[in-house]
């Protein structure tokens, strides 16, 4: 069994307003593949540290990559190349053969704080064959800003064979790389804070329409929600509890339908307090 986890860590700031990366790592437990969002580097508010490096140091035996959407100058005379970054991270029990940090479509907004969002796509050498594992954080402002990102994400997940791997083909110069070039498997998993609920148009655009007779019309070569594959109702669950607001499941795990029968369970870490979000966990049969 393979255990997947995703957590928007809110740069380590918990419900008690305390910054604690040790708590974040503890709440993730013994996961094999981890997708993190809102990981930052060299921000004064979170201790002026590289959180990606700090999290990796607390996760022995895990491979990792980091993909920022925000990349700003934080250099000093002593450290002239230092950058203030904010983005997604993937940690894996198995080697990460390649990664691509996709910058998602962005619309400049008037008078509203707005961020460049990214999707970090990794090819993982899991037992039984490589698969793609992605950490994503979609826009927080409105459906208008998210829908182009949803379309982009869907193309990455379902048409990855058209783009191919980050490096591929025949190497004319064998000294260019000393290992085999990475594969581009069609099987894919995306996890993250997507800022939409199952009742939203974004959810329908990704998965399919709702039929009065048959329920959600999943495409044979499309995406499926691990939450419903695990036996839960679409509208159930709450990953961002806020006092006075109804339950909202906006942190998701979607899998390509060739992996649908391998989803064995999914839960929400309801007791976690390390962020304003709750982590999600998926069990996948190897």
Render pLDDT for 137-194 as a digit per residue (tens, 0 to 9).
999 999 999 999 999 999 999 998 888 888 888 878 878 787 788 889 999 999 999 9
CB 93 within 8 A of CB 62: yes
Which of 262, 143, 269 lies closest to 206 in space, CA to CA?
A: 143
* Residue 57, SS3 per DSSP: helix
Q: What is the pLDDT of residues 14-63, one digit of tens each?
A: 999 999 999 999 999 999 999 999 999 999 999 999 999 999 999 999 99
CA triplet 218, 223, 227: central angle to 5 degrees? 90
Contacts for 199 with CB less than 8 Å, ≥ 6 apart: 235
Class of domain 2-166+181-284: alpha beta
Gap between the Cα atoms of 69 and 106, Å rounded? 11
Gap between the Cα atoms of 281 and 262, Å rounded? 14
């Amino acid at each position: 069994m393979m255990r997947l986890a995703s957590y928007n860590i809110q740069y380590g700031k918990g419900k008690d307003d305390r910054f604690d990366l040790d708590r974040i790592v503890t709440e993730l437990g013994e996961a094999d593949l981890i997708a993190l969002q809102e990981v930052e580097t060299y921000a004064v508010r979170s201790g002026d540290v590289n959180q990606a490096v700090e999290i990796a140091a607390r996760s022995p035996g895990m491979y990792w990559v980091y993909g920022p959407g925000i990349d700003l100058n934080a250099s000093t005379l002593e450290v002239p190349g230092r950058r203030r970054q904010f983005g997604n991270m993937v940690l894996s029990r198995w080697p990460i053969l390649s990664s691509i940090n996709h910058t998602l479509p962005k619309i400049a907004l008037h008078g509203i704080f707005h961020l460049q969002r990214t999707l970090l796509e990794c090819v993982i050498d899991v037992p039984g064959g490589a698969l793609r594992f992605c950490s994503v954080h979609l826009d927080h402002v409105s459906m208008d800003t998210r829908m182009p990102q949803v379309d982009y994400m869907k193309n990455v997940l379902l048409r990855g064979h058209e783009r191919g791997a980050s490096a591929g083909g025949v190497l004319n110069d064998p000294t260019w790389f000393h290992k085999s070039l990475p594969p581009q498997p069609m099987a894919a998993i995306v996890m993250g804070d997507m800022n939409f609920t199952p009742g939203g148009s974004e959810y329908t655009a990704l998965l399919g329409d709702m039929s009065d007779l048959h329920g959600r019309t999943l495409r044979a070569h499309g995406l499926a929600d691990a939450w419903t594959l695990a036996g839960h109702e679409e509208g159930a669950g709450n990953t961002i509890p806020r006092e006075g607001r109804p339950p909202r499941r906006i942190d998701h795990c979607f899998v390509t339908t060739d992996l649908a029968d391998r989803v064995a369970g999914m839960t929400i870490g309801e007791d976690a307090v390390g962020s304003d979000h709750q982590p999600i966990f998926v069990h996948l049969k190897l």
